A = this chain, B = another copy of it.
Amino acid sequence: MSQFDNVSVVKKAHVYFDGKCVSHTVLFPDGSRKTLGVILPASLNFNTGAPEVMEITAGRCRVQLAGQSEWQNYQAGDSFGVPGDSSFQIEVSDTLHYVCHFG
């Protein structure tokens, strides 16, 4: 599925880390919300509020979850989960396109 249908999309983006991450919010008929974004090649640390699942739609990265010593590699088609009130370090080697699912 290359697109979300029958959704609302917020016009204004969120821009993080001086533009290394740009994300748009998508609202679903059931009241849930996802963000759709891009992370440019960089090494960044993201904090989570709610638990989230990052679904990679294009690009390549490696990720280290808070409190873990291992890095995991992810690319298009992969997903990884992050607990709530936590953080993860991400190193993007090829510009990452992602969908972030919450809750």
What residues make up the interface of A, taking CB atoms closer than 8 Å to B?
1-13, 15, 18-20, 22, 24, 26-27, 36-38, 40, 57-58, 95, 97, 99
In the assembled complex, the CB of A2 is this many whole angstroms from the nearest CB of chain B, namely: 6
CB <8 Å contact, A15 and B3 = no
* Known pairs A6-B6, A19-B95; A24 contacts B11 (CB<8 A): no
| Residues of the B chain whose Cβ atoms lie less than 8 Å from the Cβ of A22 | 13, 22, 38
| Residues of the B chain whose Cβ atoms lie less than 8 Å from the Cβ of A7 | 7-9
| Residues of the B chain whose Cβ atoms lie less than 8 Å from the Cβ of A40 | 15, 18-19
* Known pairs A3-B27, A22-B22, A27-B3; A38 contacts B15 (CB<8 A): yes
In the assembled complex, the CB of A60 is this many whole angstroms from the nearest CB of chain B, namely: 14
Q: Which 4 pairs across A and B sit closest by C-beta, in order of nearness?
A: A19-B40, A22-B22, A5-B8, A3-B10
* Known pairs A19-B40, A40-B19, A95-B19; A2 contacts B9 (CB<8 A): no
